[in-house]
Structure 1
């Protein structure tokens, strides 16, 4: 996807709150130039603001280049067809990448790090880890086997290094900057072209 991407000198950065010394700078600016992520405003990305489920769905659908126009209604009463997230959520739902909470999706709820692990693993069709034994002590304490495997999958693909060497913080709320780096690294892992960024 990034094979024809502009060089660092050619990248456009409209965000006054994303400086070159930001650990997520390359991911945010590259994905912005690839029309994958957008700012909260025209000049603010707010990398430290918590990411919503809706934004994650929108950016993931963009990254996967899914058809968000010719979609079937997923039936979420809190995602009307007028919502900016509708096409992305419907496309991801059709492809069994995301699910909701009964008849709701809760697009404005914050996204957890473990939820992101599932979305990336399924979205990029990664080979799911067979082991549930993690180097992260807080992941080993989880009871859901699939969640453990999704997180380990990201480790196997070098998409994440965790919040520390021994913790992943699976229930931690994902920040927008981290979301960008997760997406960037997942794209790079499946289509090697760019340097991997460590996700905090």
Structure 2
């Protein structure tokens, strides 16, 4: 269902784009960059600007994105829910006492929790706690319904030392899909705090993978 919603959006966007005049198309192709701290030289610039223009991610202010700032669990939940088209419109009390209905993360966290994509810590979600690279691997694998790897050994020496077999498989899944290559050829840094720039790139790559997997029906 989530992929279907995103697929419909992509198909509609392509159709509308195809119908635009040539002059308008050139304008649409130029990504708007309101962020003074996201330069073309930044390795995450393409992902940040693409997702921002698609309305999936937001900055820390109207003019800053802060790509080097640690990403939080709340931000990751919000951006992922936007990408998947999951927003829970409900007035009911949420699952977590630290994510009240007044929180900007409330609908996203509620929807992702209901879908089994994220978990909390008892009755807390800890939306302001920083996110690790391993934690995002799980969110993306489950959220985009990727075919999960069965491998319990990876090319990353630091991942192989982990005792949680499921985490190893989530990370290997992202490698299998080409969503990540790791921090080096032999390390993934699973417990490293994820930056907002890295979050954008991971999410951008996952969206592209999901789009590539879609079956295109030819028109006869």
> For 2:212, what is the secondary structure of its paired residue?
coil
Query: SS of the counterpart of 2:130?
Result: coil
Q: 4+ runs of 1 displaced by more than 2 Å?
A: 1-9, 70-74
Query: How far does residue 9 in structure 1 lie from its aligned partner after superposition?
Result: 4.5
Q: Deviations over 1:50-101 (max 9, x none)?
A: 0000000000000001133147544211000000000000000000000000
Match of 1:184 in 2: 204
Greater Rg by CA: 2
Preserved contact between residue 72 and residue 94 of structure 1 (Cα < 8 Å): no
1:13 and 2:18 aligned: no
1:141 lines up with 2:170 in the alignment: no
Alpha-carbon contact 2:94-2:101 (below 8 Å) kept: no
**In the alignment, what sits opposite 1:43?**
63
Instruction: Find the counterpart in structure 1 of residue 82 from structure 2.
Output: 62
TM-score (norm. length: structure 1): 0.92
Residue aligning to 1:31: 51
Q: How does 1:94-109 map to 2 (within 5 A)?
A: 94-109=114-129
Would you say the 8 A contact 1:97–1:123 is kept in 2?
yes
Look up the match of 1:126: 146
> Greater helix percent: which structure?
2
Deviation digits for residues 116-171 of structure 1, max 9, x if unmatched?
00000000000110111100000000000100000000000100000000000000
Indicate the larger mover: 155-164 or 63-72. Answer: 63-72
Q: Which runs of 5+ in 1 are unaligned?
A: 194-200
Tell me the distance in 2 between the aligned counterparts of 1:100 and 1:117.
16
Q: Deviations over 1:1-53 (max 9, x none)?
A: 55637778421110000011110011000000000000000000000000000
C-alpha separation in 2, matches of 1:171 and 1:22: 23
RMSD between aligned alpha carbons?
A: 1.8
Q: Is the CA contact 2:150–2:169 (under 8 Å) kept in the aligned structure 1?
A: yes
Q: Are 1:73 and 1:90, in contact at CA under 8 Å, matched by a contact in 2?
A: no
- The more displaced of 2-11 and 88-97 is 2-11
